Structure 1
């Protein structure tokens, strides 16, 4: 599995949100720091993204601005406002009757109240803008249209469709990041043996994997496999396995009503108690409370 797919799988432990905001006149807003990943989709007009430090970044319709680890920043009609001169954002922003807005944007994020950001996101710049090329990015235009429709009204099934569209917009923006990094985007595992082991972990996390068994799948000795896996993936095999199991468990807690004992077995734990202890160590909260918080 590539890093973008891993990122999307990992952030599913968080709570997705997306809101459509209309701004008028000499507009500006300051967004607080969050634990998670944020993004903005510009629907109409032009403006500036104002970072905590550095020069403002221009935005125009169709751009997707990615804030990969949730740093505080602002959006403004001008590049002359520093972030501390902008008023804090207050949602919802009411539309002024039928008057067309000067700037329309979808504010989206995945809040990770528990757990950690994927290393792929932590290694990125604090702000990235993926500009829209109408000829090349036909798919993005379609995604933006679908997401705009979903966040503009509440319909049956919104709880399913809105997170799915948020995922797709994030994937599109992260692909832009990968394209800028070169042909491989720096986000794939080059070693076929390591890639084979990763596929098995992802497909069957409940298997009682050992470094020895994964090394056999990779066609390597235990020591060579552990060394190469850690170098290419950034974590030792068992640490990666535990993280993958618990991220998948968090997603099942958020998206299903399955009992804790069932989820524990599905992600490779022999008992609900063992799963709960490991989950609490990673996310800092018990599975039951986590489910209550993210589904509230």
Structure 2
């Protein structure tokens, strides 16, 4: 799941508000956070009553649902669009201060696990996770300076923040939203797929290495994972291919072989079917996409105006 959201570009910024304020983020493909640094405000959603937020609260929007923030309870449609232009933030005291950022997926789909979660998860400093507060401090420090590796460190910090929020939520909500895979045969197959996606796996080969008949293995795997083995394998390969396109300069033919496709053409056909864009255009978009930059006041902003997640 973490691998799937990292196909998007991590963006974050620090925002200060004073007096009467409010902002809205429309639905987007990706995941977002809000972390309150100072003051009190309200989380506004389309379906639930406004929820009070205080210092240290972290709001996770796992699948990018439409929402807003405000100094008082208000209707969501009454809030203006959130400003993600990256304009400098004022110095000095503010009534409400938070961090805002997102993994926005320009291509591909939000992972099924994230879609199975509630639209919003709120973590409080009273939940007993001291590491979460430490991660927020590290993210604040990362936003206050620009340097080599900033995009990598920001992505890693946001990954960790997401994991800690989900861990805390799962401790108190161990419901059936997403089945834990305990079937030994399915677990073994997943290990083979993720460790060696480049191997020319067939369903018969996978069933043989886990010691099951092809029919029984397919039934078990599909029942636990929600999709047949072949479809799951294709998703893993293409997700890895997308990451290699974004993070490396390797030729398409090399990437194709690394993830299990015999030719660049076969890789390109499968990639377009999954992401709706050719591998070359996907790579060009990753290179030209706006990045998070820091202004001279030590605040961070994105040049994009797309919806985002907020870390307060």
Aligned partners of 2:78, 2:48: CA distance in 1, in Å? 15
Q: In the alignment, what sits opposite 1:11?
A: 5
Q: In the alignment, what sits opposite 1:279?
A: 271
Q: In the alignment, what sits opposite 2:94?
A: 101
Q: Can you give the 5+ residue segments of structure 2 that lack an aligned partner in the other structure? A: 289-312
In the alignment, which of 144, 163, 171 is matched to residue 163 of structure 2? 171
Change over 3 Å in CA distance of 1:139–1:127 after alignment to 2? same
CA contact (8 A) 2:271 2:278 kept: yes
* Ranges of 4+ aligned residues in structure 1 off by more than 3 Å: 183-187
- Point out the more displaced range, 143-152 or 172-181: 172-181
Q: In the alignment, what sits opposite 2:60?
A: 66
Aligned partners of 2:15, 2:95: CA distance in 1, in Å? 11
Offset of 1:156 from its aligned partner?
2.2
TM-score (norm 1): 0.92
Q: Are 1:295 and 2:294 counterparts?
A: no
Q: In the alignment, what sits opposite 2:304?
A: none
- RMSD in angstroms over aligned alpha carbons? 1.7
Q: Are 1:188 and 2:146 counterparts?
A: no
CA contact (8 A) 2:5 2:105 kept: yes
SS at match of 2:52: strand
SS at match of 2:33: strand
SS at match of 2:125: coil
Offset of 1:186 from its aligned partner?
4.3
The residue correspondences of 1:228-243 to structure 2 (distance < 5 A) are 228-243=220-235
TM-score (norm 2): 0.87
The residue correspondences of 1:103-252 to structure 2 (distance < 5 A) are 103-133=96-126, 136-182=128-174, 186=178, 188-252=180-244
CA contact (8 A) 2:6 2:155 kept: no
Aligned partners of 1:173, 1:154: CA distance in 2, in Å? 26
Deviations 1:168-202 (A, max 9, x none): 11111222232233299845311111101101100
Aligned partners of 2:182, 2:78: CA distance in 1, in Å? 47
SS at match of 2:107: coil
In the alignment, which of 87, 92, 109 is matched to residue 80 of structure 2? 87
Q: In the alignment, what sits opposite 1:254?
A: 246
Change over 3 Å in CA distance of 1:84–1:184 after alignment to 2? closer
In the alignment, which of 33, 36, 39 is matched to residue 42 of structure 1? 36
Q: In the alignment, what sits opposite 1:4?
A: none
Aligned partners of 1:140, 1:184: CA distance in 2, in Å? 25
SS at match of 1:133: helix
- Point out the more displaced range, 183-192 or 100-109: 183-192
Aligned partners of 1:181, 1:262: CA distance in 2, in Å? 43
Offset of 1:285 from its aligned partner?
0.3
Aligned partners of 2:90, 2:185: CA distance in 1, in Å? 59
Deviations 1:102-133 (A, max 9, x none): 11111121111211111111111111112223
Offset of 1:295 from its aligned partner?
2.4
Aligned partners of 2:204, 2:63: CA distance in 1, in Å? 35
Q: Can you give the 5+ residue segments of structure 1 that lack an aligned partner in the other structure? A: 1-6
Higher relative contact order, chain-length normalized (CA < 8 Å, sep 6+): 2
